[in-house]
Amino acid sequence: MPEIKAPEQVKTALRLLQDNGFESYAVGGCVRDCLLGGTPADWDITTSARPQETERVFQNYRIIETGLQHGTVTVILEDMPLEITTFRIDGNYLDTRHPKNVTFTRTLWDDLARRDFTVNTLCWNETDGIVDLFGGTADLQKKILRTVGDPDMRFQEDALRILRGIRFASVLGFTLEEETADSILRNRQLLSAVANERIRTEFGKLLCGQNASQILERFHGVVEIFIPELRPLVGCPQNTHYHCFDVFHHTLTALENIPALEIPRLCMFFHDFGKPDCRRTDADGTDHFKGHEQTSAEIAERVLRRLRYDNRTVKTVTERIRIHDTKSAVTKIQAKKLLAKIGVENYCALMDIKLADCRGKAAPHAIDEKLKKMDALLQEILTNCECFSLKQLAVNGNDLKAVGITDGKLIHNALENLLLAVIEERCPNEKTALLEFAKQLSF
């Protein structure tokens, strides 16, 4: 396994605690990620020092009393914040999220025994190297995710661990150990008590994981606790020559084929949520889903707002779902009209969405040659700086006023008509020609 390459600030903090007679280790995700060959975003330290003792050790540094009641002190070393937490034993969990109280301990085993998964119990310092008290190294090597101790107890203590478990499996590409997996499904209803903001964070990471589709297939029942709108997709048939999967499995396949970024993944996850409601079967047994884009966008907006997503994300995702079934542009005029309507960013996103959507269809519809043409047209238009927006038009409102069009609404209509004339190649994008064309417009 790769060696631990801790930042100098982390090594300094560990040494200062040890030099003052306290045990100290980097712990959890930072150690796990290093051993997987990654670069941790954050480093956490666990120590036998009580919070007041930690503050004395770091009295010459800036200190933030992050959570003294839980033993956590944040120390700033050369602009790097380090959370340093005392070994502790959690008291009873009364709300399936937080312990009622904690008891500080001097024993590392006690502290690690309360943690969620074995791969998150690994510790390290320069003196002892890797410290593994719960078999985390073996599980890391086998790419297995299992709880520390009894899984039912771990999940009933903190219900968010249910979602964290499937998120870790998705992001790390791990397999959930069978008892852990069974317990996740058995205890999934506990998630209904978890704050939507916390669910949003974990779910967004899950969607962007390398194993997202596999995890969603097995654990869709977990997701249905906070997104019950997913349930109708499972088993919903698509009896058309375009499709070989039900709506749910089409969604999973499409999800695998979109970039692993949160907004594109949200778009593909929700893009067909409206199909069960819109499904109509004709006399020949063929299914039709007219209007499912709008219905899907409405469902997505409802769910995203419930999960407390920001307005920009909600707007972007729903806009792209509404246009996801737009026909591909196959001529330059069609491409410019589409660009005028949705802009370059959404045009590019639409190509990604349509490509992913195709990958979830039956052959030969799994490959859409029109998308290559659509992309080539975009590149040609951008390279040649061809006009497709009002900003690129060679005239503006003041120019129109100068030739006698003074009403605001008429100016707007005139500009729209001029842009359309340029796009349709009925008028060149030149000021003199455009103004002459404007004089001929009837309002």
In tens, the pLDDT along 164-197 reads 999 999 999 999 999 999 999 999 999 999 999 9
20-24, 340-344, 352-356, 406-410: range with lowest mean pLDDT? 406-410
- What's the chain's average pLDDT? 94
Backbone angles phi, psi at 240, to 5 degrees: -140, 160
Domain total for the chain? 2
More confident: 408 or 297: 297
69-78, 161-170, 216-225: range with lowest mean pLDDT? 69-78
Backbone angles phi, psi at 65, to 5 degrees: -80, 80
Position 443 scores a pLDDT of: 55
Mind listing the pLDDT tens digit for each residue in 342-359?
999 999 999 999 999 998
The verdict on residue 170 lying in a domain is: no
Backbone angles phi, psi at 75, to 5 degrees: -115, 135
Position 442 scores a pLDDT of: 62
The CATH number of the domain where 40 resides is what?
3.30.460.10
Quick check: 125 pLDDT over 90?
yes
Quick check: 120 pLDDT over 60?
yes
Confidence band, pLDDT 50/70/90 cuts, at residue 364: confident
Query: Packing angle between helix 196-207 and helix 262-270, nearest 10 degrees?
Result: 90
Quick check: 283 pLDDT over 70?
yes
Supply the range of the domain harboring residue 42.
8-142
Mind listing the pLDDT tens digit for each residue in 6-16?
999 999 999 99
The verdict on residue 411 lying in a domain is: yes
Q: Of 83, 114, 142, which marks where a domain is finished? A: 142
The verdict on residue 431 lying in a domain is: yes
The verdict on residue 27 lying in a domain is: yes
Q: Is 93 helix (H, G, I), strand (E, B) or coil?
A: strand
Q: Of 142, 173, 206, which marks where a domain is finished? A: 142
CA dihedral angle for residue 108, residue 109, residue 115, residue 120, rounded to 10 degrees: 80
- Percent of the chain at pLDDT > 90 equals 86
CA distance 309 to 303: 9
The verdict on residue 3 lying in a domain is: no
- Flag whether the pTM goes above 0.85: yes
Phi-psi region of 285 (alpha: psi -120 to 50; beta: other; left: phi over 0): left
The verdict on residue 127 lying in a domain is: yes
Helices (H) and strands (E) in the chain, counts: 20, 13
Position 59 scores a pLDDT of: 94
Cα 144 to the chain's mean position, in Å? 23
Q: Of 142, 160, 178, which marks where a domain is finished? A: 142
The verdict on residue 59 lying in a domain is: yes
The verdict on residue 168 lying in a domain is: no
